[in-house]
């Protein structure tokens, strides 16, 4: 069974998760932008990881535009964002990224965030978003964390989720062998 891991990463968190998963299952790995869709035919299980910007998984539209080439394969998607993974954030991600239209497995990973590493446009976007959140007196726990991120970098590695995705890929490989 051949596994492919594709990813889109801005500051390296998604790339690290993608690399760790690929290494553990012996998968081929490529940045999404450097992968030719016609090569999808060579694989049985396809994993795509993208970082989250304003609720949108970066690269997801490009990735899903080739769904016809993947619809008979096992597809696993993971998103990497600073939000905590809850039932509510998961539902929002599925809705915003139209994942409900596809037969696939979806996992929400938590990444790291350091305001000082951003470029000027992203700094501006984040400042605006945080200002809006901070003004809301009814913010939830997740939003309360977001309200502090400009001054306090978040550093997180979701070992449990990596283990889970690895275990799913290994189970799929066993099923295909039998």
Ligand X SMILES: Cc1cc2nc3c(=O)[nH]c(=O)nc-3n(C[C@H](O)[C@H](O)[C@H](O)COP(=O)(O)O)c2cc1C
Residues in the site for ligand X, rule: CB under 6 A? 9-15, 51-55, 80-83, 111-113, 118, 122, 125-126
Minimum CB distance to ligand X, residue 98 (Å): 16
What is the number of alpha carbons within 13 Å of residue 94 lying toward its C-beta?
Answer: 15
Torsions phi, psi for 139 (to 5 deg): -65, 145
Instruction: Return the number of the residue (93 or 172) whose C-beta is nearest ligand X.
Output: 93
Minimum CB distance to ligand X, residue 87 (Å): 15
Instruction: Return the number of the residue (18 or 27) whose C-beta is nearest ligand X.
Output: 18
Torsions phi, psi for 147 (to 5 deg): -65, -15
Minimum CB distance to ligand X, residue 86 (Å): 11
Instruction: Return the number of the residue (44 or 122) whose C-beta is nearest ligand X.
Output: 122
Query: CA 58 to CA 169: how far, in whole Å?
Result: 23
Query: CA 108 to CA 92: how far, in whole Å?
Result: 11
Minimum CB distance to ligand X, residue 48 (Å): 13
Instruction: Return the number of the residue (73 or 90) whose C-beta is nearest ligand X.
Output: 90
Q: Where are the beta strands (DSSP E) in the chain?
A: 3-8, 28-31, 45-53, 56-57, 74-81, 105-110
The answer to whether 69 and 46 are in contact (CB under 8 A) is no
Instruction: Return the number of the residue (121 or 174) whose C-beta is nearest ligand X.
Output: 121
Q: What does the block give as tokens for 33?
A: 């932008």
Minimum CB distance to ligand X, residue 9 (Å): 3
Query: CA 12 to CA 10: how far, in whole Å?
Result: 6
CA 3 vs. chain centroid, Å, equals 17
Instruction: Return the number of the residue (144 or 175) whose C-beta is nearest ligand X.
Output: 144
Minimum CB distance to ligand X, residue 53 (Å): 4
């Amino acid at each position: 069974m051949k596994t492919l891991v594709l990813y889109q990463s801005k500051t390296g968190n998604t790339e690290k998760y993608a690399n760790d998963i690929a290494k553990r299952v012996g998968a081929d790995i490529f940045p999404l932008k450097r992968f030719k869709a016609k090569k999808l035919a060579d694989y049985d299980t396809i994993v795509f990881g993208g970082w989250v910007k304003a609720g949108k998984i970066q690269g997801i539209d490009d990735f899903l535009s080739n769904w016809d080439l993947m619809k008979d394969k096992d597809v696993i998607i993971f998103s990497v964002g600073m939000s905590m993974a809850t039932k509510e954030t998961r539902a929002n991600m599925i809705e915003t990224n139209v994942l409900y239209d596809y037969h696939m497995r979806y996992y929400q990973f938590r990444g790291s965030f350091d305001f000082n590493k951003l470029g000027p446009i992203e700094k501006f976007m984040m400042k605006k978003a945080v200002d809006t959140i901070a003004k809301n007196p009814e913010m939830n726990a997740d939003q309360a964390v977001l309200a502090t991120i400009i001054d306090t970098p978040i550093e997180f590695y979701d070992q449990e989720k990596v283990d889970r995705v690895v275990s799913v890929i290994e189970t799929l490989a066993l099923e295909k062998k039998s």
